[in-house]
Structure 1
Amino acid sequence: MDWLTEFPAMDRSSLTAIKKTIDLGFRDFTRAYGDAFETALSPVKWFMFWMEDLLTDSPWILVLLAIAGIAYAASRSIKIAGSVAIILLLVGYFGMWEDTMSTIAMTIVATLLAIVVGIPIGILMARSDRVQAIFNPILDVMQTMPSFVYLVPVIMLLGIGRVPGLIAVMVYAIPPIIRLTNLGIRLVDKDVLEAADAFGSSSWQRLKNVQMPLALPTIMAGVNQTIMMALAMVVVAAMIGVPGLGLGILRSINNQYFTLGMFNGLAIVGIAIIFDRVSQAYGKRLQKHLEVVHG
């Protein structure tokens, strides 16, 4: 019976050794390649600061009109555009304009990065069952992983600041756009694809002219979900120095400022409503347009 008592201790010691090996390996990796990653991310850093400066330094009335105009162009709804303007006016009235613009800038940049990276991966998954089988378990893990865990490798690799926060937000928010791009392309009617092949379309032409346009409403649903997840993660990323409304919430928790936390939380809800309503309305417009064209 001695081996029954010795086995757990042996198992724990080997597990500890494996953990130490992984920790040391990742530490050596960050020391060797951390600077290279920072250099590679310089364009992203520049774009993020440019977007934030554009929203925070421009006259508030111009920013408000621009955002409301974009909302109307996407939704073709005066009601939605008016709601956007009212929300932004309330945010400014309660003194949260700059923090709100910083949060919007971070959310926009993280979402654009997720789209640029996620859509090609979704296309690859749609074109290959083997690639889909590889990525599905990874996406499952990513969608069940607690949001705070995403901060650990990013901090170790890039340190504390806006760029690490941006990468953590992008990685956390990317699964929906990958999954729904894959789904949208796979749901394209086979008869339509056969007709495209009959006209002599190449694989690229079929993707560009048939599959992507027909999958666009589903992809837009993925964009909507990615925006919502990015906005949620921006608040968590305040823990590593990302400015914006999340920083106000963190300050309210540390100092027990009830009203500060409530107002910043309501401002985040307002931003979420803006992004959600505008992206959903744009997706519905695309759906109606495609039904008219192909109906």
Structure 2
Amino acid sequence: MNYFHLPLEEWTNRFVNNWLIPVLGGFFDSISSIVATFISLVTDLLNFLPAELMALLLIILAWRFAGVGVAIFTLIGSLYLGSVDLWYAAMQTLAIVIVATIFSIVIGIPIGIWSAKSPVVNRIVRPILDFMQTLPSFVYLIPAILLFGLGGVPAVISTFVFATPPAVRMTTLGIKQVPTDVVEAARAFGSTYWQMLTKVQLPMAIPTIMAGINQTIMLALSMAVIASMIGAPGLGSVVLAGISRVNVGLGLTGGLGIVVLAIILDRITQGIGEKTK
């Protein structure tokens, strides 16, 4: 028996049950309400348009940013999702991915810029990101359930935590990779800090940042599927139902839907990154 594990387990449970939830329970409830509203708005927006029109929009985006081949794949994938009655589930999964990715971008990119500018911040942030990326994804579900209950909200929160590190790391890398001579030339012309950041460093770092956003979206999609174990709606729940019933056909149907959605999102975001170069 691991005797070290028992005191840590007991200490953690006492901290959560005796202090964290009683003291900060209202704060977590407020966050849950805000995130739930955001998820509802995005889901309603995705389902407001008819499936045919939404599919056409995805095909146009794929053609514009990723080429004809990806547009044809998007058409075939959309027909597949509609033919097996998984379109609504796909939109639910997409809503969770979109909300979690927006949170990751809004929080991750500023932290990445700050880390690139400050060595002290970078030394603090790096081990935190290492911890976030190496912690098994299933472990994120436990505090998410405890603090936010079941459903889409804990799915978004756990997905946000799991998917944010690439956005932070790639933003830091992109800022640091801006050539020194370009930075010196901008300083010589009298650029202020914000002019340097917004007109020189960020524009040149956008391809790298977009690569980070692409990875964030892929991680968000994988975590959104895993989060079906805590009641997250969407394609993951279809796969989970197939596992629960030992229904190979149902699991394969939902799994192929996830593959279709993942490839479409990956190719479109990669195309956007290529266009920004």
TM-score normalized by the length of structure 1: 0.89
How many pairs align?
276
- Contact 2:96–2:155 at 8 Å: present in 1 too? no
| Whole-angstrom CA distance in 2 between matches of 1:187 and 1:15 | 43
Q: Residue 158 of structure 2: which of 168, 193, 197 is its match?
A: 168
Q: Residue 32 of structure 1: which of 1, 5, 23 is its match?
A: 23
Deviation readout 1:31-50 (Å, 9 max, x if unpaired): 32122222134333212111
Return the structure number with greater relative CO, CA threshold 8 A, min gap 6: 2
Deviation at 1:71, TM superposition (A): 2.7
- Contact 2:32–2:148 at 8 Å: present in 1 too? no
Structure-1 residue corresponding to 2:254: 264
Structure-2 residue corresponding to 1:81: 71
AA partner of residue 32 (structure 1): V
Q: Residue 175 of structure 2: which of 185, 200, 221 is its match?
A: 185
Larger radius of gyration: 1
Structure-2 residue corresponding to 1:48: 39
Write the mapping of 1:53-132 to structure 2, written as runs, cut at 5 A: 53-75=44-66, 77-132=67-122
| Whole-angstrom CA distance in 1 between matches of 2:70 and 2:6 | 56
| Whole-angstrom CA distance in 1 between matches of 2:276 and 2:201 | 14
Q: Residue 202 of structure 1: which of 175, 181, 192 is its match?
A: 192
Q: Residue 221 of structure 2: which of 226, 231, 241 is its match?
A: 231
| Whole-angstrom CA distance in 2 between matches of 1:91 and 1:33 | 41
SS in 2 for 1:174: helix
| Whole-angstrom CA distance in 1 between matches of 2:32 and 2:203 | 31
- Contact 1:34–1:158 at 8 Å: present in 2 too? no
Structure 2 unmatched runs, 5+:
none
AA partner of residue 70 (structure 1): L
Does residue 246 of the first structure (1) align with residue 273 of the second (2)? no
| Whole-angstrom CA distance in 2 between matches of 1:279 and 1:58 | 22
- Contact 1:216–1:286 at 8 Å: present in 2 too? yes
User: Sequence identity, in percent?
Assistant: 44
- Contact 1:176–1:225 at 8 Å: present in 2 too? yes
